[in-house]
Amino acid sequence: MKQIQVLRHSHFAADPWGDGGCKRTAQISEILDSNQIGQEFYQPDITQIFQKKFAALEGLRLLNQHKIQSSLNKTALTQLGFNYYKRQQTMEYYARTHKLLLWESSRQQNYLMSYAARDMGLKVIGLPHNLESLVQGQASDFTGRLAPYWFEEELQSLKQCHSIFTISREEQYLLKLFGLDAEFLPYYPTSEVATYLLQIRENRKKKAKENMIFLMGTAGNKPTFDGMLNRIVFFHRHLKDSPLQLHVAGYLTESLAPHIPDNANIHLHGTLSNERLAEMLEECSFCWIHQNISTGSLTKIPELMMAGVPVLLNSDAARNFHNVPGIKVYEHDEDCVDAMKGELPVPEIPEKPMVHEKILVNTIRKFLS
């Protein structure tokens, strides 16, 4: 049995078949497993703490100790102090047997995790799925500021990390501008998902693909929901008389139903089984992805590349995938219509990011030694 060496924290399950967050956590799990690095996920209920007297004083101590510039009211300061204290006590428990925390969850109150771990003597490697403070509509749990105006709060939290690995080049670039030691670890599907995708690639060679557009996304993510709805309305207004058929599917896309216009060429499928998803990917002409500006990187793009499915997407969604064969990026609606008239090339199978994985593994081993 492998010795547990690394403590991990993610608010996503390590599920390679789940949403983008679950896929990212599963990718990291596979990297650790393949390099014989044991892991244990943080359990918040290890230490039972339901209240703390003078929690506001804990908040003041945290702000003072880390020289955090903030102007919290008493209620927010009390909340900050209590939530920090809970994590600090749990990290004290884990510090008896662990040296290193792999920290993926900077969402909401979890951005206190890096302070608590470091204060208890743990090394911290940050693997943020995206920069939460820059996502439209996201608000700070403590100051109430809306994105992007609480970026400084998240930046202060990330500065507690001894090393950081981002999922997009843009975030790496941004953090390095602020002096953080940021590396890059792009998303790559786990081996079992890769096998599934490569089979789709083979099956696509045998099937005719005519006039079927597959608009896909995880509608539980607001930038994705808004982007999908934008394209549905666009299709209805500009392409309803064309021979094209728009098929809409993905996790939680059932929530789009009240907004679908009356159009015989638009078909809403909702959440799909893996088997049905494979059928649609095998049959579609291309996948259409449209997302409002956000952070992170869309895990579905390298998966579609592996499956041999051409991709049409807007520039705000592209992030890591500009100037890639088989990935057509459009800037405006006119570009989008023009791209639909032509045949998109089949993307190449993406290379596994071996160099970046090696950097992560070597960094982990350095901090464990």
Number of structural domains, the chain?
A: 2
Whether 149 and 285 share a structural domain: no
Beta strands across the sheet bearing 100-103: 39-41, 6-9, 100-103, 123-126, 163-166, 182-184
Establish if 93 belongs to a structural domain: yes
Whether 201 and 319 share a structural domain: yes
User: In whole angstroms, how large is the CA radius of gyration of the chain?
Assistant: 22
Answer for the pair 178, 283: CB distance below 8 angstroms, yes or no: no
Whether 175 and 98 share a structural domain: yes
Answer for the pair 49, 143: CB distance below 8 angstroms, yes or no: no
Question: What's residue 59's pLDDT?
Answer: 84
- The CA distance from 355 to 33, in Å, is 17
Establish if 346 belongs to a structural domain: no
Question: What's residue 154's pLDDT?
Answer: 92
Establish if 348 belongs to a structural domain: no
Whether 168 and 207 share a structural domain: no
State pTM to two decimals: 0.91
Whether 122 and 264 share a structural domain: no
Ranges under pLDDT 70 in the chain: 1-4, 48-53, 208
- The predicted-structure confidence for 253-311, as pLDDT tens digits, reads as follows 999 999 999 888 999 999 999 999 999 999 999 999 998 888 999 999 999 999 999 99
Whether 13 and 138 share a structural domain: yes
Whether 172 and 140 share a structural domain: yes
Whether 41 and 157 share a structural domain: yes
Contacts 24+ apart (CB under 8 A), 71-79: 71/143, 72/142, 72/143, 76/142, 76/143, 76/144, 79/55, 79/141, 79/142
Q: What residues make up the domain containing 37?
A: 6-188+353-368
Establish if 1 belongs to a structural domain: no
Question: What's residue 1's pLDDT?
Answer: 42
